[in-house]
Amino acid sequence: MKDVKCECGHVNPHGTVLCEACGKVLDEQEKNNKELLDMRYEGSARRSQTYNKTIIDKIWNFFSSVKVGIWLIVITLLTSTLGTILPQEMYINLPPDVYYEQEYGWFGKLYYQLGLHDLYGSWWYLLLIAMIGISLVICSLDRVVPLYKALKAQRVTRHEGFLNRQRIFGVTEHPEEKDLAVIKNHLHERRYRVREENGDLLAEKGRFSRWGPYVNHVGLIIFLIGAMLRFIPGFYVNEDLWVKEGETAVVPETGEKYYLKNNQFILQHYDKNKDKTFEKAIEQAGSVVKNYQSNVVLYERVSKNLPGEKPELKKLKEYKIKVNHPLDFNGYSVFQSSFRSELKTMSFVLANKKTGESFGAVNIDLEDPKATYNLGHGYSVKILNYFPDFEFDKNGEPSTKSRLPNNPAFVFSMTTPDKSKPETSFVAIKQTIEPFGENTYKMAFQGIETKNVSGFTVRKDSSLWVIILGGIIFMIGVMQGAYWNHRRIWVQNKNGQVWIAAHTNKNWYGLKREIETVLLDTKLVIPEDQQQKENLEKEGV
Amino acid sequence: MATISSNLLFIAFILYLISILFYGGSIKSKNDSSEKQGTNTWGKIAVLLTIVGFVSQLGYFITRWIAAGHAPVSNMFEFTTFFGMALVGAFIVIYFIYRTTLLGLFTMPVAILVIAYASMFPREITPLIPALQSYWLHIHVTTAAMGEAILAISFAAGLIYLVKAIDQTKASKQTFWLEVVMFSLVTVLGFVAVSSIFSSMGYHEKFNWVDKHDNQVTVEYTMPAITGPHEGKLLTTNGFKPLVEMPAFINAKKSNTVIWSLIGGLILYGLIRSVLRRRIAAALKPLVKNIKLDFVDEISYRSVLIGFPVFTLGALIFAMIWAQMAWSRFWGWDPKEVWALITWLFYAAFLHLRLSKGWHGEKSAWLAVIGFVIIMFNLVAVNLVIAGLHSYAG
């Protein structure tokens, strides 16, 4: 491909629309046009506009198109809305194949079948995000390099056809010599960098705002890479951990290095008598939780990790884990995320059914029940069978669903001095079965004790700093692009006249105000906004 | 302290209301000197009233903060009121850049509607649940609201553009949709009017009904039930018998409110139309005749440019930081988060369309309107209809 040499002597890469140095229109089709110049990317030669032969060109051109980028954004936007119609999979507490149909009927079923219950984790949603990522890279590269070159190569003296086709343009017929000096002064005051060649001026400021979009794109790409890093094993830990009060548990995914003891779980509600300000609101809501807290101790294992051996622990710190105040250590964070109450003990008394006379209490630790409870005077109770989470199985036999004492049931054998054979009784919550005929004695339910179990989320996210970095760079880029403007003012001598033209990438109103102040105290004609003039003519004002 | 606070809010509201008259006056009396820039006496008074109102509302905010012990941005009333305040603040800032009172004439009614809408929600000071007990509550919510408010200014400017640019002499798609926008604004007023009327009457009726899990529950209506709950039995004597019974999975009480608001909106709109004898947008047209299209287009675009970074920071970045601390993940695809992302994507598309595809003028103005619709959807529908972690309605 041939480079294009402009009449000013500058050699432009193939595909250049406006000469990088003098701004002369090089594109044949554009040459005789009288309309305002399209100043985007300075009319530089972009790869996507120049080559379209190989498959790589085609892919490049596809992704370098802002139109494609916008479509990707719009499609992502529209599909994202679908995921908010019904709760996503992670916010429901039933199996999804049951939940959606049960809660939302045929619509819920359809929603589930279409895979919308896990929309944001679906392959096609991730593909959309990935395509946006590719579009970001290629769009930016396609533009930033030629733009940089063009802005670097620009000379002060510009071609006439460049100047009079700028949006802001004006001619002063009989300029005064000293006005130029006044302008220069004003421009300096307004922090322009002024370059001078053959008596022509180019005042420029805020060029760095042109890089804003590219900086923010870099930030976004870093952010997306950060979000991808969590798929690398070891980078991302997200585990649930339940610890009962008084117990110590190993923190998962730490190589059994850290242990957490839960001393106490605290649940506090607002008290309408104490928190007077909230009295009305509390009355309306019934009760409002004030605090979820677990008082914990963090231990580190100091002994070698040998199976079967009790680990030797060193206390690291005591901490009160609350919502918004996780416990942080060595890259891990432990969050207070949930709690539940569990049955701890159940107590019964052995009593005579008729007289109600009792012969001693039995206090059963539901996690570790004793086999026999001796009540003295010849009375004793044996636990023949224990079902912590009782249910009848398929064959109608009593069995247990889990080892958690959610619904405890017992088969007691009651030995009393007046009976030769012990009596057997099956006792579950709210039911008693006497399998071998009518009993004289019963196990009368007395009460339960519960204990709290704290639910923690253990998280380690080594990709977080990448995401933070991406976020910071993005914000810098966005602000750079949004809060600064790239303004250029050309003041040039052409045929004994002074031509003033100006360009900004945005905020034309501000530029016009600025030119007015720059030209203050001079006889130079204030340049006009040619686009506005055109529009006003169209509007018929 | 709480009483002082609500009085200050009331004063602010009245001042905003009066300021609209002066904004109107400043446009009317400008007719002769169309080319001249600068603000006349009417306009100066209008802006002064706005600023005093803003200060008064700031007083409401601070006193309520002191009374509650936390920034008053934690329920629907507080957040929406703050959004209204941010809208006024954003207008004041943009006014001092561009010095056009016309923008006030379009922004202040929107701000007033927002604040009036807010006050239809329970105004009690609410305690903070544990997840909200963080200084990030103040930082995230206020920054997000400010971002949205600045973006909303672009809606006001876009509206001016459309009122001026669209040919009202014959009916077209554009006149229809612009009128839909006007009707929606009137409907908000309808909601406020209907709610206020029934609440001042002290209207109440109770139903026993069966929810979708076949539980017997009671619900209390504060407006006569047009749409009754599923298998509802009216408990209140002399209560209004529902005209239609809703299926169990639809919230009959909310749909009833929506229907009443639409009725209120239609009545008001009908009244306005019969007085004006033309479209609302057509009636507004004389007000905008002195403004240049390019100029409002630029205000609209500039507001997006200023608002977009603020919105990103508040609604996404600060939100992620807080979410990381409160829920152990910075992003959880909660409906409110998704809608913040949607809003962000929309304005990103807006900026790209403008920068690269040359969508200036009318197209850009329509986009500004759609952007505001998305923000309002996020504020109203996502809070009240789609329940999630952010749901203020409960």
For residue A211, pLDDT over 90 is answered with yes
In tens, the pLDDT along A232-272 reads: 887 888 889 999 988 899 998 888 889 999 999 999 988 88
Six token digits for residue A489: 């003012």
For an interface test with B, give the residue of A70, A80, A529 to mutate (most B CBs within 10 A): A70
Res B30: pLDDT:
54
In tens, the pLDDT along A130-164 reads: 999 999 999 999 889 989 988 998 999 998 889 98
Mean pLDDT of A423-427: 87
Of B227, B258, B289, the residue that ends a domain is: B258
Report if residue B290 sits inside a domain: yes
For residue A538, pLDDT over 70 is answered with no
**pLDDT-derived band of residue B32, with 50, 70 and 90 as boundaries?**
very low
- Closest C-alpha to B280, from B268, B288, B272: B272
Six token digits for residue A501: 């033209």
Torsion, Cα B58 B63 B68 B70, to 10 degrees, reads: 40
> Domains, chain A, ranges and CATH?
4-151 (no CATH), 156-206+485-539 (3.30.310.180), 236-341+455-460 (no CATH), 344-446 (no CATH)
**pLDDT-derived band of residue B38, with 50, 70 and 90 as boundaries?**
low
B244/A505 Cα distance (integer angstroms): 58
In tens, the pLDDT along B318-355 reads: 999 999 888 888 888 888 899 999 999 999 999 999 88
Q: Who's near B332: CB < 8 A, 6+ residues apart? A: A90, B323, B389
Within this chain, do residues B296 and B350 fall inside the same structural domain, yes or no? yes
Q: Which of A34-38, A178-182, A345-349 has the lowest mean pLDDT?
A: A34-38
For residue A486, pLDDT over 50 is answered with yes
Res B33: pLDDT:
43
| Cβ atoms of residues A332 and A251 within 8 Å | yes
Q: Name the residue facing B294 among A80, A323, A535 (closest C-beta).
A: A535
Helix segments in A41-121, DSSP class H: 47-50, 55-64, 66-82, 96-113
Which B residues 148-167 touch A at CB under 8 Å?
none
A210/B contact by beta carbon, under 8 A: no
For residue B389, pLDDT over 50 is answered with no
For residue A483, pLDDT over 90 is answered with yes
Inter-chain contact A509–B333, Cβ cutoff 8 Å? no
Q: Quick one: closest CA in B to A275, which residue?
A: B127
In tens, the pLDDT along B141-158 reads: 999 999 999 999 999 999
Instruction: Work out the burial of residue B230: count CB atoms within 10 Å of its CB; fewer than 13 is exposed, 13-18 middle, 19 or more buried.
Output: middle
Intra-chain end-to-end CA distance of chain B, in Å: 27
Mean pLDDT of A201-221: 94
In tens, the pLDDT along B58-102 reads: 999 999 999 988 999 988 899 999 999 999 999 999 999 988 899
DSSP letter at A276 equals G
| Cβ atoms of residues A486 and A505 within 8 Å | yes
Within this chain, do residues B29 and B154 fall inside the same structural domain, yes or no? yes
**Containing domain of residue B216, as a range?**
201-258
For residue A333, pLDDT over 80 is answered with yes
Res B93: pLDDT:
94
What long-range pairs does A77-80 form, CB within 8 A, spacing at least 24? A77/B342, A77/B345, A77/B346, A77/B349, A79/A119, A79/A125, A79/A128, A80/A119, A80/A120, A80/B338, A80/B341, A80/B342, A80/B345
A234/A252 Cα distance (integer angstroms): 12
**pLDDT-derived band of residue A539, with 50, 70 and 90 as boundaries?**
low
Which B residues 48-87 touch A at CB under 8 Å?
67-69
| Cβ atoms of residues B293 and A538 within 8 Å | no
Within this chain, do residues B228 and B83 fall inside the same structural domain, yes or no? no
Q: If you average pLDDT over every residue of chain B, what do you get?
A: 88
Mean pLDDT of A317-344: 90
Q: Residue A452: what residue type?
A: N
| Cβ atoms of residues A150 and A41 within 8 Å | yes
**pLDDT-derived band of residue A105, with 50, 70 and 90 as boundaries?**
confident
Residue A409's DSSP bridge partners are: A387, A428
Checking DSSP bridges between strand B244-245 and strand B227-228, what pairing results, if any? parallel
B100/A478 Cα distance (integer angstroms): 27
Q: How many domains does chain B have?
A: 2
- C-beta atoms surrounding A287 within 10 Å: 11
Res A26: pLDDT:
84
Within this chain, do residues B91 and B240 fall inside the same structural domain, yes or no? no
Report if residue B224 sits inside a domain: yes
Report if residue B332 sits inside a domain: yes
B313/B306 Cα distance (integer angstroms): 12
Phi and psi, residue A430, nearest 5°: 65, 15
Within this chain, do residues B332 and B230 fall inside the same structural domain, yes or no? no
Report if residue B268 sits inside a domain: no
Within this chain, do residues B83 and B227 fall inside the same structural domain, yes or no? no
- Closest C-alpha to B351, from B300, B294, B301, B298: B301
ipTM of the complex: 0.89
Res A532: pLDDT:
76
For the entire predicted model, the pTM comes to 0.88
Torsion, Cα B232 B233 B237 B241, to 10 degrees, reads: 50
Helix segments in B277-360, DSSP class H: 280-284, 293-311, 319-327, 335-356
B329/A contact by beta carbon, under 8 A: yes
B35/A408 Cα distance (integer angstroms): 87
Q: By three-state DSSP, how is residue A300 classified?
A: strand
B386/A contact by beta carbon, under 8 A: yes
B108/B85 Cα distance (integer angstroms): 10
Res A540: pLDDT:
53
Instruction: Work out the burial of residue A315: count CB atoms within 10 Å of its CB; fewer than 13 is exposed, 13-18 middle, 19 or more buried.
Output: exposed
For an interface test with B, give the residue of A100, A273, A509, A541 to mutate (most B CBs within 10 A): A509
Res A432: pLDDT:
80
In tens, the pLDDT along A58-96 reads: 888 899 888 999 999 999 999 999 998 888 888 888 888
What long-range pairs does A193-197 form, CB within 8 A, spacing at least 24? A195/A156, A196/A156, A197/A155, A197/A156, A197/A157
Checking DSSP bridges between strand A289-301 and strand A258-269, what pairing results, if any? antiparallel
A284/B contact by beta carbon, under 8 A: yes
Within this chain, do residues B334 and B378 fall inside the same structural domain, yes or no? yes
Q: Residue A144: what residue type?
A: V
Report if residue B349 sits inside a domain: yes
Res A77: pLDDT:
95
Within this chain, do residues B252 and B299 fall inside the same structural domain, yes or no? no
Q: Which of A313-317, B13-17, B39-43 has the lowest mean pLDDT?
A: B39-43
For an interface test with A, give the residue of B328, B337, B389, B391 to mutate (most A CBs within 10 A): B328
Six token digits for residue B82: 């703050």
For residue A355, pLDDT over 70 is answered with yes
Report if residue B193 sits inside a domain: no
Inter-chain contact A77–B342, Cβ cutoff 8 Å? yes
Within this chain, do residues B151 and B31 fall inside the same structural domain, yes or no? yes
Within this chain, do residues B78 and B158 fall inside the same structural domain, yes or no? yes
In tens, the pLDDT along B236-247 reads: 877 788 888 888
Report if residue B179 sits inside a domain: no
| Cβ atoms of residues A379 and A415 within 8 Å | yes
DSSP letter at B237 equals T
Report if residue B191 sits inside a domain: no
Q: If you average pLDDT over every residue of chain A, what do you get?
A: 87
Intra-chain end-to-end CA distance of chain A, in Å: 49
**pLDDT-derived band of residue B186, with 50, 70 and 90 as boundaries?**
very high
Within this chain, do residues B216 and B282 fall inside the same structural domain, yes or no? no
A298/A314 Cα distance (integer angstroms): 9
Greater confidence (A321 vs B27) lies with A321
